[in-house]
Chains A and B, each alone.
Chain A
Amino acid sequence: MSLESLYQEIILDHYKNPHHKELHAPYAIEVHHNNPSCGDEVTLRLSLNGDSIGQVSWSGVGCSISQASTSIMSDLVTGKTMSEALELERIFLELMQSKGNFSGDVEVLEDAVALSGVAKYPARVKCALLGWMAFRDAALRAGSS
């Protein structure tokens, strides 16, 4: 496992120019998640468009993995139905928990497959999941409200 495969260009691009990283209003749900072991944090806002994800916007501080993953996630779920978006979250979580045994389907996960190398570094998995867990929390709250 080389550093280059962990830090693919796509990740560094999202880190330097993150997408949707500006909190928007109005929104339906706002959540704040942090990672107490490292201090990384994300505030995420979600607005719905019927049964679909209208807009995801966020702010936060963290390492390149957490920031790029949140950026990629917000691209990926926008416009999806709630159940499609939660299914993506499930597939991404499975990829992160794979210990590096599979690389992910680029047709489904798109840019997020670039994060597959993270699964080989157990200490970094939580970085990649920070934004996704915030999204899941927001989506479930939105679904139940």
Chain B
Amino acid sequence: MAGFDSASLRGDFPILDRVVRNGNRLVYLDNGATSQKPRSVVDAEREFYFHHNAAVHRGAHLLAEEATDAFEGARTKVASHVNAKSEEIIFTKSATEALNMVAYGFLNATLDKSGVGSPFHIDKSKNIVVSELEHHANLLPWQQLAARTGAQLRWFPVDPEGRLDLTNIESIIDAQTAVVALTHQSNVTGAITDVPLISNRARQVGAIFVLDACQSVPHMKVDVQALNIDFLAYSGHKALGPTGVGVLWGRYELLEQMPPMLTGGSMIESATITSATFASPPKRFEAGVPNMAQAVGLGAAIDYLNNVGMGAIAEHESELTSRALAGLGAISGLTIIGPTNNHARGGVLSFTVEGIHPHDLGQVLDDKGIAVRTGHHCAWPLMQALKVNATTRASFYLYNTEDEVDQLVAAVIDAKRFFKV
């Protein structure tokens, strides 16, 4: 067993007591889409709004000071959680915005007359490397950047298990590679990318490495120094935090050279009617009044995760995954779309059942109170590569139990009976 009892911490999550369809208690297995929230996170937001609410970094009054302290305190927590410096953490509205911020940093440096020589300047002699298993959020910004600048878009293919095929890494990432943008853990197959292997190659050729950590930071210990990367993005709401807050981490020396995507209030050093100079990071990238209460809520979420322990969470999810792989794997006609062994994979399980479309399977599971995701999971190129139209996905978190995994397995068997397949 992991170092905590998932059943005992369920009381911190009021929604898990919900009775849903047909009097069934909710079995929430859609954590890859968003996580549920512990009381402490909602309380932190309420505390902020009821007692300290003011626009941060401005205002000559007590509340402004308290709000700033709370907001910057959250930044410190977010930073130490991934072993980074506070000034390297940028609060965004989402991981999608964070990833776009880097892609637009490239675009703006490329458009900027003084951008030549910047590590963010690209042109048609350069290439951009992604992979077939990216979520659209880490594909479209790069695909569009390539289309707008003439840079070549390259990608790692996936193998039949839904892992990156790194066979041709030396030719895919070459001297002309400007940026490598990959996911840490697939939101469809659960496969965990061997980041140091690829980031070392990126380092060799002088390319910037961007990691989509949406499915990893909430579930395991992530250390940006050990991974040897340049940027990392994740969303707060998948990590027990509120919606409306995402995180971009970047190496300070790169942030200092990256043009902002959004300009406006609170991101300047000075401004005239025709020109402006920008503030130092992270402020340069936080134009406008930020999502303060949400950032504070994310700080509380990180406290919660650290109290349980990232190692213990990963171990717990791994146990659930082993149980699900064994239980689901024993069902005839069921195919796991992703690694079938529990090596270098997270607690995200996609599968198909012969003769039952994922939507229909999801409907039967919902009838039993089990919430899963069905469809293409915002990863159409991966679905095309794996030659599946849609899958059913169960994704686990710290509050899920072995009993819930067993309920999932039993419900899939029932669905086969219902549809007579």
Contact = CB atoms under 8 A, between A and B. Distances in A.
Given A38-B375, A38-B376, A39-B389, A124 B359 contact: yes
15 contacts: A3-B418, A12-B419, A12-B420, A38-B374, A38-B376, A39-B376, A39-B389, A39-B390, A40-B389, A61-B389, A62-B357, A64-B360, A64-B419, A65-B359, A121-B363
Contacts, number: 43
Given A38-B374, A39-B375, A7 B418 contact: yes
Contact of A63 (B358, B367, B383): B358
Interface in B321-367: 357-360, 363-364, 367
A130 B359 CA distance: 14
A26 B416 CA distance: 39
Nearest to B21: A1
A19 B287 CA distance: 57
Contacts of A65: 359-360
A38 B359 contact: yes
Contact of A64 (B357, B367, B380): B357
A73 interface: no
Contacts of B380: 39
B360 A39 contact: no
A82 B410 CA distance: 48
Contacts of B375: 37-39
- Size category of the binding interface on chain B: 10 to 19
Interface of B: 357-360, 363-364, 367, 374-376, 380, 383, 389-390, 418-420
A93 interface: no
A99 B2 CA distance: 45
Nearest to A37: B375
Given A6-B363, A38-B374, A63 B357 contact: yes
Given A3-B367, A39-B380, A39-B383, A63 B418 contact: no
Contacts of A38: 359, 374-376, 390
